[in-house]
Chain A
Amino acid sequence: KQEVTQIPAALSVPEGENLVLNCSFTDSAIYNLQWFRQDPGKGLTSLLLIQSSQREQTSGRLNASLDKSSGRSTLYIAASQPGDSATYLCALRDYGQNFVFGPGTRLSVLP
């Protein structure tokens, strides 16, 4: 059974720092991987989608990488801002079209 972990569980950084969030998974047979952002009391907002054949995707200050062989994905946030404060979740899509979510990393960017 696929298991997804995210490290760290929580992270607090000063504004302007570059940071990396980690997502690890146990089964490399995935169709794609998606990173989401969740603000308190809100739904999930899609940030980046990486297909299994891709190595990375970029959107603005965000860059996500995928290494299936090692069971890892990272989300890199450049020049962090207080508005980046949220919980970040990774989700794997298996070949049955369903998702397996990680528990999330709670990020606080201090002004």
Chain B
Amino acid sequence: DGGITQSPKYLFRKEGQNVTLSCEQNLNHDAMYWYRQDPGQGLRLIYYSQIVNDFQKGDIAEGYSVSREKKESFPLTVTSAQKNPTAFYLCASSNGRDEAFFGQGTRLTVV
């Protein structure tokens, strides 16, 4: 089955800890995206990548980092510099300007 897989589904982070969220797609899409969703708010773009080994900051990139070493993978690291990381994180991919597909999300909680 083609699609986007995010893992883990739930993640807990201690204060001062870096954590990495995984996003893998087997749709052969060039573009991949990371969004953050907070209760009662719309989706906000963190980072996006339109091609391997290249990525761009979105609207709320501070405290986050990404890499795009393979076409299929676009991991997101939430660093200790992100002061309010508790949120629902969504990964998406698309081929150019065609239809976009989303993963099932990772819920990150600070403990």
Contact = CB atoms under 8 A, between A and B. Distances in A.
A97 B97 contact: yes
Nearest to B96: A97
Given A31-B97, A99-B45, A101-B43, A44 B50 contact: no
Name which of A31, A42, A89, A97 has the most chain B CB atoms within 10 A of its CB: A97
13 contacts: A32-B97, A41-B105, A44-B102, A46-B101, A46-B102, A49-B98, A91-B100, A93-B97, A97-B97, A98-B33, A99-B43, A101-B43, A104-B42
Interface residues on A, range: 20 to 34
Q: Chain A's interface: helix, strand, loop or mixed, by majority?
A: strand
B48 A41 contact: no
B21 interface: no
B42 A49 contact: no
A98 B104 contact: no
B76 interface: no
A101 B38 CA distance: 13
Interface in A71-111: 89, 91, 93, 97-99, 101-104
A43 B107 CA distance: 11
A43 B88 CA distance: 9
Contacts of A101: 42-43
A34 interface: yes
B100 A41 contact: no
A49 B105 CA distance: 21
A102 B43 CA distance: 8
B15 interface: no
A98 B100 contact: no
B92 to A, nearest CB: 8
Given A41-B107, A44-B90, A103-B41, A97 B101 contact: no
A45 interface: yes
Contacts of A99: 33, 43, 45, 100
Contacts of A49: 98-99
